[in-house]
Amino acid sequence: MTLPLIPAPQSSILRVGPGEPLTASHVDALADALAPWAPRAAAAARRTLADLPRTTGSTAGVTVTATLDPSLADEGYTLDLAAGSWTLTAADEAGAFWAVQSLAQLLRDGAVPDLQISDAPAYPVRGMMLDIARFYFGPDEIRRVIDLAASYRLNQLHLHLSDDQGWRLEIPSRPLLTKMSAAQDVAGGQGGYLTLEDYEQLQRYALDRHVVIVPEVDLPGHTHAAQVAYPEISPDGAEREPYIGTEVGFSSLHLTSDEAWDFVDDIVATLAEHTLGEYVHLGGDESLTLTREQYVTYMERLGAVAEKHGTKAVFWQEAAGAALPPGTRLQYWTSQIETDHIAQVARDHDVTFIASPATRAYLDQKYTADFPLGLTWAAIVDVREAYDWDPVAELPGVPAESVVGVEACLWTETPRSFDDLTMLVLPRLPAVASVAWGSPKDYPAFASALAQHGRWWDADGLVFYRSEQVDWT
């Protein structure tokens, strides 16, 4: 029997036996045991397990223990489920929360299997990126994405908040951004934006699920929308009309003017002040109008601005080789640009890498050549392509210890609804989550578990793609 657990645990033993029905006493006892030291895990137990099918059996004879064990790997946990007795141990609060997420899958159909699990993630950064700049998804939809990410033990949501098509976050010192640059999207729709209150509430919601939000404002390119509101930050100062196309690389801020750098300072200061996590993403990709020298000079100054405001920065891979502040993260996304220097950068600079290869982890790429949603510039990415890859191997020469994370990315040139979003994300997000967790590679077992998740997605009303690489029956 294959456990319907995604990501698959590092080790598991399924014992022979009928198991037992899930009862209210299991859930209550687990939440009570977790509450003193892992309150968010306790809340998750009451929230997610309480709605599962269960009997109204007696509370007698059920023993549940949940203990902290710092000797386990970070975010690690163990589970021992037996008749009348559950034992959960976790390295920390996050480990306890991920144990509850695993239980939510294991118990989804109302029966308690007799098993042992020992589990911990391979990478500390396990993320999903959602582009709300091209096509706007609002707070309610973002909450649903957070829930979905957390259910697959992802711990980071990267929100792409600005691009040529739209600006999506309130900046009090720059009111024209939301007045003039948020009222459209790539589909010609009305757009929208997050207020700072929206943003802070989303972060609290995410942290309750052990997910950190990393905001991205892309600089110096992908900035046409910002220049619509403030043309003085552009290279020529000319007024601009809103852009709803999908071309990239044509826009850039003025590289040296006081007006442009005052704008950047305002943006980074606001992000730093209102972001609860330690990182903000400041873009740096596809600045195709700049020479390499111009680009490096700009990125080094941008890194200094982040450091001045007390925040750490993430940049796309193009920033590799610039002199960046210690602790900077670089996000690898393509081999179609120069990558020979990245291994040397990893060895010589205090930077780490997040692997998001477009040929594996970009969820905006088509499943098949004729699929109605998505693009094909990087690859055709079906389930197996999203599952069967190694993050370290994607960055040749980069030391394994310098690769700290994996992130799936959803750009929104083509989705127009939440159903479109889930169609692109499912079933590939669980595949990339398995890579990020470092699950043992076993595609047949993964595909079998995925089929069970498909039945659950149907029951939950989530639209997904029934890949021919999975037997959904």
Angstrom distance (rounded) from CA 339 to CA 344: 10
| Radius of gyration of the CA atoms of the chain, in A | 23
Angstrom distance (rounded) from CA 251 to CA 74: 42
DSSP label of 252: B
Active site residue 286: yes
Angstrom distance (rounded) from CA 382 to CA 187: 25
Annotated active-site residue in 75, 170, 216, 286 = 286
The alpha carbon torsion through 146, 78, 447, 442 (nearest 10 deg) reads: 130
Please state the three-class secondary structure of 359-411 as a single string: HHHECCECCCCCCCCCECCCCCCCHHHHHCCCCCCCCCCCCHHHEEEEEEEEC
With the C-alpha atoms ordered 156, 157, 163, 167, is the resulting torsion angle positive or negative?
negative
β pairing state of 111-112 and 20-21 = antiparallel
Start-to-end Cα distance in the chain: 16
The two tokens of residue 199 are 């943003």
Angstrom distance (rounded) from CA 364 to CA 425: 8
Q: Is-cis flag, bond preceding 220, omega within 30?
A: yes
Length of the chain, please?
A: 473
CB of 165 closer than 8 Å to CB of 136: no
Angstrom distance (rounded) from CA 262 to CA 65: 55
Residues marked active site are found at 286
